[in-house]
């Protein structure tokens, strides 16, 4: 046994009561090599020519296999660079192109159509030696006179009682009156004709002035008035059962030459101091309007430039 084993760790005598006194320790020593191994040195590049990158043309060390700038492989030939990617076409771009194409087509078509129709109109206007002619239809300019009472040239009735109570009494401007032929006014019609076309504004129905005769005869109640310039569109009104004033019926016409008055209903006759009569009685009919002046009529649209 060595002195270390006999005397304890590192030649120190064990101490009484120390639990580590009987444990032996091996002395630690560094086993350093006597000389350092020399590493393989890289060959020196001083004085050798540099390489040029075929992609970015930067100067590189001849020992490099790849470019330190762009990462391209260093070699004798230039590395091909991929082309730029084609820009993608979105749905919005396609829609804009379609709209622009459609608008351009419409504009071109409109220009062609205008050119074709314009040439036709020019040829038509200058067909007679280059002098344009007017193709407008001639229309008369109507000149109307003042508002006045208009007397028709003729009047006829569907029936009459006798010569003393004839239809002409309706426009004679006196107290004589017209009676139908005991028909109680049923389907009674009165037709008048004017010399020149008239623009009517009102037709007046005047009942019998004598109160007893007024009551003992049938009187007009419902009436329809037809003008030849408004066919099928009557002016409708109802006459009150009174004889104290004329009753005006609005009749707005333009150029009437023939007017027809139709009795659609009547007030019944009454027995006053005697018997009631079966005849319809009207004392007078007056017409108010404006007469068309045919002598002052002018034609327009006949001038040429």
Calculate the average pLDDT of the chain: 79
Bigger pLDDT: 64 vs 207: 207
- pLDDT tens-digit series, residues 60-82: 788 888 888 888 887 655 555 55
- Higher pLDDT: 266 or 22? It is 266
Would the pLDDT of 92 be above 80?
A: no
Q: Which two tokens stand for residue 111?
A: 């220009």
Whole-prediction pTM value?
A: 0.53
Instruction: Indicate the range of 20-34, 125-139, 253-267 predicted with least confidence.
Output: 125-139
Cβ count near 240 (within 10 Å): 12
Distance CA 129, CA 132 (A): 9
Burial (CB count within 10 angstroms: exposed 0-12, middle 13-18, buried 19+), residue 285: buried
Task: Supply angle C-alpha 19, 20, 23, rounded to 5.
Answer: 125
Q: Is the pLDDT of residue 42 over 80?
A: no
Length of the chain, in residues: 305
- Output DSSP code: residue 163: G
Q: Percent of the chain scored above 90 by pLDDT?
A: 45
Residue 272 in contact with residue 214, Cβ under 8 Å?
no
Mean pLDDT across the stretch 274-294? 93
Residue 173 backbone class (left: φ over 0; alpha: ψ -120 to 50; beta: rest): left
**What is the pLDDT, as a whole number, of residue 274?**
81
Find which of 89-103, 110-124, 229-243 is predicted with most confidence, using mean pLDDT: 229-243
pLDDT reported for residue 224: 97
Residue 144 pLDDT exceeds 50: yes
User: What CA–CA distance (Å, rounded) separates 97 from 235?
Assistant: 64
pLDDT at 9: 44
CB 11 within 8 A of CB 3: yes
Whether 112 has a pLDDT exceeding 70, the answer reads yes
* pLDDT score, position 245: 93
Q: How far apart are CA 27 and CA 241, in angstroms?
A: 156
Q: What is the CA radius of gyration of the chain?
A: 64
pLDDT at residue 143, as a whole number: 87
> Could you give the angle at the alpha carbon of 71 between the alpha carbons of 67 and 77, nearest 5°?
65
Is the Cβ–Cβ distance between 188 and 180 less than 8 Å? Answer: yes
What's the rounded mean pLDDT across residues 82-105? 73
Q: How far is CA 3 from the centre of its chain?
A: 124
Indicate if the pLDDT at residue 86 is higher than 60: no
């Amino acid at each position: 046994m060595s002195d270390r084993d006999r005397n304890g760790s590192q030649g120190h005598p064990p101490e009484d009561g120390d639990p580590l006194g009987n444990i032996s320790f091996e002395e630690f020593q560094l086993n350093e090599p006597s000389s350092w191994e020399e590493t393989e040195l890289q060959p020196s590049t001083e004085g050798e020519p540099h390489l040029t990158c075929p992609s970015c043309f930067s100067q590189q060390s001849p020992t490099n296999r790849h470019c330190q700038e762009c990462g391209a492989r260093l070699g004798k030939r230039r590395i091909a660079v991929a082309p730029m990617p084609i820009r993608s076409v979105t749905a919005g771009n396609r829609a804009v192109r379609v709209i622009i194409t459609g608008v351009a087509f419409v504009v071109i078509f409109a220009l062609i159509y205008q050119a074709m129709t314009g040439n036709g109109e020019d040829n038509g206007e200058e067909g007679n030696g280059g002098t344009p002619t007017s193709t407008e239809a001639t229309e008369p300019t109507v000149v109307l006179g003042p508002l006045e009472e208009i007397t028709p040239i003729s009047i006829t009735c569907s029936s009459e009682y006798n010569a003393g109570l004839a239809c002409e009494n309706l426009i004679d401007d006196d107290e004589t009156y017209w009676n139908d032929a005991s028909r109680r006014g049923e389907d009674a019609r009165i037709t008048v004709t004017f010399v020149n076309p008239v623009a009517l504004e009102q037709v007046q129905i005047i009942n019998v002035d004598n109160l007893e005769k007024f009551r003992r005869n049938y009187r007009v109640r419902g009436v329809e008035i037809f003008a030849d310039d408004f066919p099928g569109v009557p002016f409708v009104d109802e006459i009150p059962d009174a004889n104290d004033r004329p009753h005006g019926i609005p009749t707005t016409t333009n150029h009437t030459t023939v007017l027809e008055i139709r009795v659609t209903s009547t007030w019944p006759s009454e027995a006053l101091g005697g018997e009631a009569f079966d005849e319809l009685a009207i004392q007078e009919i007056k017409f108010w309007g404006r007469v068309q002046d045919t002598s002052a009529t002018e034609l327009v649209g006949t001038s040429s430039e």
